Every structure is written in structure tokens, then in C-alpha cells.
Amino acid sequence: MMSPEITDPTFSSSNTVQDPASHQPSSPELTPTMPVSAPPPELQKAPKKSDTDSVERALPHAIGPEKSILSSMLQDPTEYVGLAEESGLTMDHFYYPAHKALFNIISELSQGQTAIELVSLTQILIDRGLLDKIGGPATLSEIYTYAPTSAHFHYHLELVQDKHTLRSVIDTCTAAILRAYEDQEEVPALLDEVEQKILSIREGAETETANTVKEDVLAVMEAFEKHLAGGGAPQGLNTGYKVLDTMSNGLKPGEMFIIAARPSMGKTSFVMNLIEHICLNEGNPAMVFSCEMTSEQIVQRLLFSRAGYSITNLSKGFKPTKADLQRIQKSAQEIAAAKLFIDDTAGISINELRAKARRKKKEDDIKVIAIDYLQLMRSTSKQAQNSREREIAEISAGLKGLAKELSIPVIVLAQLNRGPENRGGAPRMSDLRESGSIEQDADMVGLLFRTAYYAENEEQREEQEGIAELLLAKNRNGATGSIPLSFRAELMRFETRAFDSNNG
């Protein structure tokens, strides 16, 4: 049976296949059987070549596979429209404008639960004034019968996706080349931006793509239903501290949790207690950036704290018992088997940290990031060089942006100024050093302190030794208040403490 007359600008009236951009002969297998007429110029026109390309060259494309995919979707929409959606295929994957328009209509009909067949599709295109723009009824009929079998659907889908990836790489690299000429004073920021865009191409979607309200509603309702089914269990990552989990509802994706304290309050110990529970007890991959301590020191603390053995015993001449050695050995095995990644780069820049975090998210799907600590990081932008406050603001905004980009919680330690010592009491959010932007960017702010540090005399200091508190001063999505803790200095470990009104 002879195929109907086609109207496709891919072909010339002399029956020689033409590339829509380069006008060079293409594969003979696509040669039509009869003369054709071209559709209007607005859909005949191929995408422009790169402005930096001095050679006449079309962007990578696969017209035949595009038509084959559309043909399969029209012939068996129940099977192939769903497969296309599951694979993440969008109208942007198509090179040819007419194919973009047709795919968009098919997807719209599918989402509206409307039957997809040639007669009704033709009528919809007529009603919207699109039929002539895609080449008329002949082109639609030719696309419908283009694929005699759908056996090669997956292969053609892969070809179309690969060509789209190549076009995305060309677009990104072209933009990067132009930026490299124009923004020569912002090299670190440019590297960070280029890497982000390249990684987004690998992941198959640009990070700037916005969710529809419908998608957000479905996500919220799904989380709500899980919360109900779990009997009130935290929606985010469990921290191991029941009161904190209740007030925060867990550490949720996209949130930045600031834990601030004066020096020697134990903030590094506290954040490692959180990471220990999230990573070792709950089995979630985690990454720690330590700007102050080496990775070996971090692991030493973690190992002996988990084993319940005070490392100071060795310096005092006490040898570990057999039970001690067994606990230490068990802890070592558990830590070695865990997906815990520690980067101890001193003075790491925000751009470098974000690049490393993106790679780990891609390679190991990390679920949480901890940073010790914010004021030891740096920003390399030109504006940050002349203002420490601006530098901290850029770092804070960068970390919040990273939490949203990777959709994981980011825990950040920060230093407080001398306000608590001057007042002789609990810290406040206004004590955050060097920039109020930290307070603004954070979703939660926890102020960690140990009451013995502010005791008026030695007797009070002895009475309050080991009493600690995390004051949740800001909680964007929940309650604020005091979280009672106890601190075991010999193990560098914070534990839950029953609330004592006398020491509250």
C-alpha cells in the first residue's frame, strides 16, 4: 500500500532528502515516494546554529527517529505515550518545530484522559489553527504510518534523547565561551555555574525547571499521608533526639539548620552525634566538610564516642578491658562500612564545596551535609574581597541554595560573638557573628550552650556540670523552645536529658 502524500520540509520536491538546516543530502532511506510541498516558514525553519560557529553546520538531530516515536504514540497511545512520559521525554527533546507541536498536543490529550486517534487529533489541530502549520493532513497521515512496527521505539527514543543532550552541551558550552570572554574577573563563580549546568544535563533536566502547583500539592499530600501512616513520625531525617525531632518534624530536604555556639561548647561533638545517628544508625549516606579538624580526628572522636570509651584513659595509663576492645572493634567495623564521606579541606570556598557536594550527590546519593564551620569558609567573588560581612552573606546564601538544589538538609555550624559572656546568660540569635544574613537564610537556628560556663561561682559550676541545652530560636516550619541535653565530656557526647525545671 502506497503511503499518502506527505508534506514535510525535510524533503525537497525533487525527492532528495534535505537536512532542514544545512540543506545537504541526508540518508536515502527517508526519500519520499512522491513530491511534497513545504509547510509555512515558521515551522519549516530549523533552530539557529551557534553564534560562535564559523562553519555552516546544523545542530545534532534525528528527524527519522522523532517521526517514529510520534508514529508509535499515535498508533498505540496506551502503550507508548506512557513509556515516553516515564522516560522523561518532553517537547524540548524534539528538534523539528512541527514535531514539538504535535508531541505537545498528544501529551496534553493524554493528561486530560482524552482518546488519541487520527480523526479527533486532526480536528483539534484544525480548531487550534495548527494543522496547516505542521504541514497539513498529508504530513499528519505520513507521520501516523511512518513506523510500520514499534519494535524499535526504545532505540529511537534513546537516539532522540542523545541528540537533545548534544544540543544542550553545545548550548551550554557556547554560553560558557561567551561568559569566559565577558566575565574574566569572576572565574570561580563561572566554573561553579558551568559545572552546575553540565551536571543538570547529565541528570536529564535543568535545575531551573519549576514544578507546577499540582505537582507541589501532590508532594505535600503524599508527605502528609506518610506522616499520618507513621503515627506522627518525623517527615524528615530522624536526628536521634526525640524533642528536636518533635519540634522540627525531622531534618527536611532543602532546609538549612544552623547550630551556633561559643568556642568549646561542643558544637562539633553535637553535629557528629547527629551525623552518627543519621548515617550509622539510620543508614543514610552523609557528607561532612570539616574546615577545622582533620578527617582522622573526626573519625577518632566518632569511633571512641560510639564505643563508649574515653580516649583520655590511654594518656592516664589505663588499658582497655576485653569488653572495651570488643566495643571499639565493633564501632570501627560499623564506621568503616558506613557511607560517610569527610572532606577536611581547610578554608574551602563555597564554590568548591558546592562542586564536591554535587558530585557526591550524583555518585552516592548523600542524604545530608554537615559543615564545621561557616566562618572558616571563604568566598572568592570580587565583591566579597572588600567586605567580610558580604563574604559571609554569600557563603550563607550559597549553602541555602545548595540545600534547595540537592534537595537535602544542610547542617551548618557557626560561631557566636561574645554577647553571652557579656550578659552572663543564654545566647540569642543576634549573637551570630559577622552577618545577620545567616539568621535570614536559615530555616532553623539552634543555639547550643552549657550552663556551667555561665555559673557565678565554683559551687554552681560543679552543680551544673554536664547540663546542656539547645535553644531552638528559629523554626520556620514548627515550634521553637528549649531542648534539654546532657553532655558527657569524657565521650564528647550529647544525650537527651529529662527536663528539670530547677535547671531549665
**10-residue mean pLDDT series, the chain (504 residues):** 39 37 37 40 50 63 88 83 76 87 81 71 84 83 82 87 87 85 76 76 52 67 69 75 90 92 88 94 93 88 89 77 90 91 86 84 92 83 75 87 91 85 75 75 90 75 82 88 89 78 44
Q: Do domains 28-169 and 235-496 have the same CATH topology?
A: no
Omega before 454 cis (within 30°)? no
**Gap between the terminal Cα atoms of the chain:** 88
- Within 8 A by CB and 6+ apart from 194, the residues are 172, 176, 179
Place of cell 522523561: 88
pLDDT at 409: 95
Q: Give pLDDT tens digits for 116-136.
A: 778 888 888 888 888 888 888
Question: Active site residue: 5, 282, 292, 439, which one?
Answer: 292
60: left (phi over 0), alpha (psi -120 to 50) or beta: beta
Domain boundaries, the chain: 28-169, 183-233, 235-496
Which among 227, 496, 244, 255 is positioned nearest to 367, based on CA atoms?
255
163 CB neighbour count, 10 Å cutoff: 20
255 is catalytic: no
- Fold classification of 235-496 (topology level): Rossmann fold (3.40.50)
Give CATH for domain 28-169. 1.10.860.10
Query: What's the confidence (pLDDT) of residue 20?
Result: 39
Measure the CA dihedral 218/219/225/227, to 10°.
Answer: -160
